[in-house]
Chain A
Amino acid sequence: MKLRRRQRERLSLWLQYLAFVAVIAVVVYAADWGRLKEAFFRVDIIESMFPTIITVALRNTILYTLGAFAFGLVFGTLLALMRLSRVAPYRWVATAYIELFRGLPALLVLFLVGYGIPIAFPEREIPGGVFGSIAIGLGLTAAAYMAETIRAGIQAVPKGQMEAARTLGMSHFTAMRTIVIPQAFRIVIPPLTNELILLTKDSSLAYVLGVTASTIEVTKFGRDTLNDRVNATPLLVAGFTYLIITLPLSQVVRRLELRYAKAR
């Protein structure tokens, strides 16, 4: 008997489901769950990590991320405006900076800030200690990425917006600040969210600055516990802790975009 088109499609779909379930079943059946649990899911180790992983490690991860993001956002906006400037040297400087800092590994920049600045200016300290060093060290790299995103956002605002603002007597600067940049930021919310999530994970690079018990962040905390207990469970716990930040963040951003949708 010849199958009708919809019957063929349905059959094909069911075969795909079946293959998918089979693969999972084989993996689940073949895996040695006892050893896996012993290596990655020791409940006693998980319990021992709380509440420090939240009250200290996660708190620091969030602080470092926000610090670096704030620094990167301000500096990145400045770089974006310099790239769009009518003054040629501003454009050259901004372009050189962006090309350089997008190419350098964030780890190296963080290292140079953490150890280079104290050597260069022995009398002074970076304000905020480890927090300040990380905010600047990661922020310098983030700024280079964000500058390009923000520049694209500014250029995506129709030219007529600037013209209308200037026609009303606003200076170029006032028009940028009150008319163009607010619209540009609405446009670049999704890519900036990406940058924030990337920064959350880059904050794990803080270890190169030698963090202490009070300045430790999630990944370093996981690795230290791993060394103490000679067990991989802490890494798994640390890894899932990042989801506590990133999942709600996505929700917040989605809501933000909805709110701005009517004012676009």
Chain B
Amino acid sequence: MTTPQSRPAVEIRDLHKSFGPLEVLKGIDFEVGHGEVVCVIGPSGSGKSTLLRCVNLLEEPTAGKIWVNGTEMTDPDVEIDSVRRGIGMVFQSFNLFPHLTVLDNLTIAQRRVLRRRRAEAERIARDNLERVGLADKAGAFPAQLSGGQQQRAAIARSLSMEPKLMLFDEPTSALDPELVGDVLTVMRTLAEDGMTMMVVTHEMAFARDVADRVVFMDGGVVVEQGPPQEVLGAPRHERTRSFLSRVLDPTHVAQLGQPTQSPEPSQPPRLPADDRHNL
């Protein structure tokens, strides 16, 4: 009855994840539709990265079920390698392969996993390098690139596998501020091309402008979710409001010390009117 096409790209039901005695995810229900861009925000330790890593089974869920493109990831007999081919992932620390050139970084999985011929793999790799603005860096080693270039190369590496879903785990958190914009531009273009994306991020401007839906997590649960203008512009929950005020106006909160004594506790600071990354 439910064909893979009719199901959402990602479907998560009552997901729990514990590391020893520490319960990080406490029952998550969550969906991502085809072509949808979902940004997951929340304080550090809220479980948002763990949630993302459960989607492609880098972390094994303690309980609950996950489907990606109609395949149940939590089935013990799932052919994990073949499912992961359809799920790209971009890490905070890039994780390019330092012993390979940029071009080889993009071709090695195409050749070893998809069994593409060298010429075809290189053509696809060069197309994707072009797409992220690194056409001239094919022969360089990762160590010779800036952080922003490395992250764009990592995105191109994932895209070379032609995934249906892209996961981004704080892709700009390890970057110098002036390099963040290039990476976000690439991600934005990807979103506009219709890629299904799940993005864990602290870039509120990106979430506001690019996301179809923003999910706020805290303490291992989804506190609230909805269109960015609602979650970021008019949050309903106090936890969301206090998180946003800490992120968007950190010095103000630090001076107050106790945010609850603020004269206007219910008003989160507004997002800056101008887009600071010129997306």
Contact = CB atoms under 8 A, between A and B. Distances in A.
Nearest to B85: A169
A227 to B, nearest CB: 51
A160 B58 contact: no
Contact of A262 (B56, B97, B143): B143
B187 interface: no
Q: Is the interface on chain A under 10, 10 to 19, 20 to 34, or 35 or more residues?
A: 20 to 34
Given A160-B91, A263-B141, A167 B98 contact: no
Contact of A170 (B58, B81, B99): B81
Interface stretch (A61-69, A105-113, A178-186, A250-258): A178-186
B15 interface: no
Contact of A168 (B98, B143, B158): B158
Contacts of A165: 97, 109
25 contacts: A158-B93, A158-B95, A161-B95, A163-B91, A164-B89, A164-B91, A167-B84, A168-B85, A168-B113, A169-B84, A169-B85, A169-B161, A170-B113, A171-B81, A174-B112, A174-B113, A178-B108, A179-B108, A183-B97, A186-B99, A260-B99, A262-B143, A263-B98, A263-B99, A264-B143
A239 B99 CA distance: 39
A180 to B, nearest CB: 10
B88 interface: yes
B84 A160 contact: no
B95 A164 contact: yes
A33 B95 CA distance: 64
B109 A168 contact: yes
Nearest to B114: A169
Contacts of A260: 99
A183 B99 contact: yes
Contacts, number: 71
Interface residues of B, number: 29
A169 B99 contact: no
B161 A168 contact: yes
Interface string A149-179: 0000000001011011111111100100011
Nearest to B161: A168
Contacts of A174: 112-113
A128 to B, nearest CB: 33
Contacts of B112: 170, 174, 178
Contacts of A167: 56, 58, 84, 87-89, 158
A183 B91 contact: no
Contacts of B157: 168
Nearest to A159: B95
Contacts of B114: 169
A160 B170 CA distance: 14
A243 B144 CA distance: 38
Interface string B129-151: 00000000000010110000000
B261 interface: no
A260 B143 CA distance: 11
Going nearest first, the 10 A-B pairs with the smallest beta carbon separation are A168-B109, A164-B95, A169-B85, A160-B95, A167-B89, A169-B113, A169-B84, A263-B99, A263-B141, A169-B81
